[in-house]
Structure 1
């Protein structure tokens, strides 16, 4: 599975004559390539739940809460002596059932003849955007329900306060990271997720304080937040909580996709989304379909934290 970035770059679209477009719609491999530019790196769910799991038979069994430490401490070994064994403690067994999420839309021969590839691309874009919005919302909802650890920016004598100042943001982020690392379970946050408006407020405060790069990775030029305080700063309005969230994405969990290998489907961008074009000769049109058969899996809830009372 590849490395995902977020948000996605804009799709690059090229035209074609009518025969080429009909050939594309009848060829699953070409459909998959066409959708790839629309879909690549678009899911924030895959940017947070970076594990790639394979669901079989409509469900996945997994272990959660496994300690990174063994039951027994190392012992002194005499020269030539045998090393004692220690049992591996397994986590709590859990199960998750996959869901098939998808939608169809129609493109007529007349639309293709008059507008070329444009109606196909617009239809696929809408299908992709709808799939992304729904899967991201579902995945982030699962994450928010599983991640219960919090850091209160207003609690205590040395509380950094609300995130409307650079001091509040830096103090809140560093204290949140320290709280996760203090669990001594091997977690180290690498990503923070905010809503779009929160991202804009925080970035403005840090720029105003002169704490972001002036050259090269300057967000005023690129529109992208550089890695700051050791974190990727991602934004999504699909998150179900108003609180900023920090994650160790290497250990939080993953998306469990089920490959059904049904005829006529093409996988796009290699992250589980499948597309299909179904010819309807009786009505001179195509039915375009996008679907994802998956379930979000949170393996380590303690690898995440919500920042409460941030005031964003």
Structure 2
């Protein structure tokens, strides 16, 4: 998932009543409108960066694979065969997709009275509600699967925070895991404390990628990505490898009339109802999957 920026600027031109009705009868245009208006993006897609196809409504996957082969390498003479080893498989697990959806009505009266704003507000609220629920579900899976913890001294300065993070990274590197723990995940209150600490220490870039100036996430500092979500629980920072942690398994139902909003991951549908209204839906059929629990560490004792 690319870096996400908020808030998203509102469209410049106001649609007429006739154009609003055209918008609501063209699902593809409606999906593009939703992508423009959505002020949040799935943090689940950002942290669980893998993409799995859940055709059939579920997925089988292996988790907790051994890091090393069971046998040691041997000296091989010229022209000789290499010793063969059997790689042990991880524990087989399965996950089933869930269709998370919500619907609302937009009446002709509201369109005539309030115009474009009633449509924009309905689309944004539906999408953000789906995003909030999927993100909360995904974080619950991450927090339950990633059980490793590392103690740290209090994060009173950027140096203290960096020392703790680098120590954890080096300890994992010494195991030969090949993991790149380079993303720090914080709850909003703790992210604000870290951000203030970096500002006070003049440790943020003055122009590019400075969230204080432009509200851009993720924050990039010290070779790390710092992200936050309202669905992160507790006060401890988490250090993860986004590329190895896991992914989102989405199912495409192929339902007539539904269109996916590009870059958002949400499908939309607008139905014209006989009672002078539109029934507008937003949904996502997905399940979060953690394939490598070692790709995350919860850092305790930071005092944040």
Using the size of structure 1 for normalisation, the TM-score is: 0.90
The equivalences for 1:104-123 within 5 A come to 104-123=103-122
Match of 1:261 in 2: 254
User: CA offset at residue 55 of structure 1?
Assistant: 0.8
Q: Contact (CA 8 Å) 2:6, 2:39: kept in 1 or not?
A: yes
Larger displacement relative to structure 2 (87-96 or 68-77): 68-77
Give the corresponding residue for 2:268.
275
Instruction: State the partner residue of 1:196.
Output: 188
Describe the SS at the equivalent of 2:162.
Answer: helix
Q: Say whether 1:208 aligns with 2:200.
A: yes
Equivalent runs, 1:219-238 vs 2, <5 Å: 219-224=211-216, 226-238=219-231
User: Contact between 2:187 and 2:233, CA under 8 Å: does it hold in 1?
Assistant: no
User: Are residues 16 and 215 of structure 1, via their aligned partners in 2, closer, same or farther at CA, if it must alter by over 3 Å?
Assistant: closer
The answer for the alignment partner of 1:150 in structure 2 is 149
Partner of 1:165 in structure 2?
157
CA distance in 2, matches of 1:216, 1:123: 34
Deviation at 1:17, TM superposition (A): 2.0
Whether 1:239 and 2:232 are equivalent positions in the alignment is: yes
Give the Cα–Cα distance (whole angstroms) in 2 for the partners of residues 137 and 49 of structure 1: 13
Contact 2:41 2:264 in 1 (8 A): no
Number of the residue aligned with 1:85: 84
Q: The residue matched to 1:227 in structure 2 has which SS?
A: strand
Q: CA deviation at 1:215?
A: 4.1
* Distance in 2 separating the partners of 1:127 and 1:140: 20
Alpha-carbon deviations, 1:216-267, whole Å to 9, x = none?
4444323346422221111111112321111100000001011101111111
| Root-mean-square deviation over aligned CA pairs | 2.0
> Against the structure 1 CA distance between its residues 46 and 115, is the aligned structure 2 distance closer, same or farther, given a 3 Å change threshold?
same
- The offset of 1:7, in angstroms, is 4.5
| Structure 1 contact 189–246 (Cα < 8 Å) conserved | yes
- TM-score (normalizing by structure 2): 0.92
Q: Which residue of 2 aligns with 1:96?
A: 95
Determine the C-alpha separation between the residues in 1 that align with 2:6 and 2:201.
28
Query: How far did 1:201 drift?
Result: 0.9
What corresponds to 1:174 in structure 2?
Answer: 166
Instruction: Answer whether contact 2:39 2:128 (CA < 8 A) is retained.
Output: no
Name stretches of at least 5 consecutive residues in structure 2 with no aligned partner: none
Aligned twin of 2:179: 187
Contact residue 246 and residue 306 of structure 1 kept, 8 A: yes
Q: Gaps spanning 5+ residues in structure 1: where?
A: 154-160
What is the CA-CA distance between 1:33 and the residue it aligns to? 1.1
